[in-house]
Amino acid sequence: MKVTSYSQGKWIEKGTSTDMISAVTGKPVAALIEADLDYKAMCDYARTTGGPKLREMTIHQRAFRIKFLGQYLMKHKEEFYELSTHTGATRRDSWIDIEGGIGSIFTLSSKARIELSDLPFHVEGGVERLSRGGTFMGQHICVPKHGLGVHINAFNFPIWGMLEKFAPAFIAGMPSIIKPSPLGSYLAHAVFKKMIDSELLPEGSVQFIAADKPGDLLDYLTSQDVVAFTGSAETGRKLKAHPNIIANSIPFNLEADSLNCSILGPDVTPGMEEFSLFIKEVANEMTVKTGQKCTAIRRTIVPAGLTDDVVSALRARLEKTTIGDPAKEETRMGPLASALQSNRFEEQYNRLTEVTDTVYAADNGLKDAFTNPRVLLCHKPLEVDDVHTIEAFGPVTTVLPYQNIDEAIAIANKADGSLVGSLFTADDDVARVITMGCAPYHGRFMIVNRHSAKESTGHGSPMPHMVHGGPGRAGGGEELGGARAVLHNMQRVALQGSPTTLMNIVQQYIKGAETKESDIHPFRKYFEELTVGEALTTHRRTVTEADIVNFGSLSGDHFYAHFDEIAAKDSLFGRRVAHGYFVLSAAAGMFVHPSPGPVMLNYGLEDLRFLAPVYPGDTIQAKLIVKKKTVRQKRETDKDPYGMVWFDVHVINQNEEMVAEYTILTLIKRKKRLDIDLD
């Protein structure tokens, strides 16, 4: 197997060949072909070919491509599993990397289609009123940058690390250049090749570098580019300090390995379920991926009185760990990723043993990249700095005893920034105090008790729905986070202008903008025929005493403000008023078209506000305005293709005062089938 670069739409087959060694057999599993790449040309190609093609598409169209890519990759997962064993990963380890990585892009695609605009850019948040008269307004939008994303990935998760960076950049409209760690890059390459084979990705939208180091790639980046790095804190700091990165203020997301912690709450005793859950989680994080996780538990913080119990329980659990060939079903822990990584682990581990006691380290006669789990104990964790600064990247944790809650928090925060901390407690007051004490120092904080444990995804599993990163030593970066991951790769722009001008720019109705009366009732139009800003102004209706009585009888709502004239005099209204929900219902009666048509259903209502009372004798009128549109994928079970249309509804009285406003969500048939439709 050859690991080659993919540059400017072509595979580069010639270059210096280096054997890539299996962590299991010690024999070559692939050859890294390091070519003399023209990085400037690769950057130019991404900007001039890939970027324009991506920006022609809407966010939703790009997100659908990612969804379909995930489906394509999932069909080939067994090929990836077979290859993954050579990195030292068991089936369980590989599941995190392979199906966890592919699952992440499914989630990112879904979140983008739910939360972001079906436009080439995203309209973010509400409109800001910048003037008293409402003729000068503000609106934030997030637009695709005219650059590229450089993604430099670590060796421990070749697939997950690549996909979780690539997917949000692609959805954002930004082409990518992917540079995996050479260690295990044969697995990243296998997945990347399938990505190209899928023919789902526009020309120029992604390139791949097969090389030991990124060379002078960073020299050719501009302010429109973005860099995302995962790896050691030391390497990350060097790259982030690159003169060109600093000179051009290039966004640099750094996700560095950190000394993450897990805390056993002071309320927990050995007989409690939370104690068993804690021991299981610590042991699990030591052995999954042989401890080679940026989120692994390096520091185990426990009540001083339970130190012996924790050490004993960890020893008992770790002794059951079967170490060996990761391809075998009974194996629970494979080797480290390489002999080099094994040497690095031993060097850092030996440094830690100089300031700690070794309380568990089985001698299994292992050699090469194979190793065994180890537990260290530091009796004075607030005085010994090394346990908070030295990371042995492998299956080891250090037990750190504390005397009280304040001390537990101080120990947890002493590493000065981590990707994740966790707390096991059955006491919600303890959970609140420790969480708020630790929160500023950790990018993610997981609280576990017997109620959440069954469905918990675990200390070491960042979820694509939520941000992943951390302050200080962890890099100060932030990635993932659902739709936020996409927006990290876009430029936020504050637009200012008249409501009508802004509406025409952002393609979404803005309150106060000029509307155009529809010549046909909007509910008689198909999705494609509706335009943002078109409106229907209804006939008028005078509210009567009988309306209030009948609505109250029908709904069962006999609130005094609607029925008790005397009591109503002392209310905010001064006299009896119509039900707010009657006004809502009456407005629907005025704007809904009774005949069958393209409207399939109204399925939601947002931002409802009753702004002024409606009294018996008042006359109301509604205005229906097309606010925004989104295409929805037609599934095999759907009878017709459709889209979502948001309509703003304004209800006024005879004095032209707004008495109610809200947005209704509708499903409306499409005339056309699109390439996203399944049948």
Query: Do 662 and 604 form a contact (C-beta atoms < 8 A)?
Result: no
Tracing tokens 């909007």 back to the chain, one arrives at 522
Among 167, 169, 185, which Cα is nearest to 30's?
A: 185
Q: At what angle do helices 59-75 and 158-172 cross, to 10 degrees?
A: 160
Token pair for 444: 């993610």
Alpha helices in 292-419 (DSSP H): 307-318, 339-353, 405-413
Residue type, 174: M
Residue 142: active-site member: no
What stretch of H or E contains 419?
strand 418-424
**Rounded to 5°, angle at Cα 176 from 171 and 177:** 165
Across the beta sheet with 2-3, the strand order is 2-3, 28-34, 16-21
Residue type, 229: F
Q: How many CB atoms lie within 10 A of CB 29?
A: 19
Query: Do 334 and 89 form a contact (C-beta atoms < 8 A)?
Result: yes
Query: Do 65 and 56 form a contact (C-beta atoms < 8 A)?
Result: no
Among 293, 295, 291, 233, which Cα is nearest to 419's?
A: 295
Phi, psi of 394 (to 5 degrees): -175, -165
Token pair for 544: 């009567």
Q: Indicate the Cα dihedral angle 401, 425, 373, 387, nearest 10°.
A: -40
Q: At what angle do helices 428-438 and 405-413 cross, to 10 degrees?
A: 30
Cα–Cα distance, 398 to 406 (Å, whole number): 19
Q: How many CB atoms lie within 10 A of CB 14?
A: 9
Residue 294: active-site member: yes
Q: Which of 43, 142, 261, 294 is catalytic?
A: 294
Sign of CA dihedral 182, 183, 189, 192: negative
Query: Do 14 and 77 form a contact (C-beta atoms < 8 A)?
Result: no
Among 439, 149, 397, 169, which Cα is nearest to 293's?
A: 397
Cα–Cα distance, 487 to 469 (Å, whole number): 15
Token pair for 464: 């694509």
Query: Do 247 and 240 form a contact (C-beta atoms < 8 A)?
Result: no
If DSSP codes are grouped into helix, strand and coil, which group holds residue 23?
coil
Q: Which of 255, 478, 479, 534 is catalytic?
A: 255
DSSP string of 443-495, one letter each residue: EEEEEE-TTTGGG---TT---TTSEE--SGGG-S--EESTHHHHHTTEEEEEE
Among 535, 576, 542, which Cα is nearest to 654's?
A: 542
Q: How many CB atoms lie within 10 A of CB 343?
A: 11
Token pair for 99: 């199906």
Query: Which positions are catalytic?
Result: 255, 294
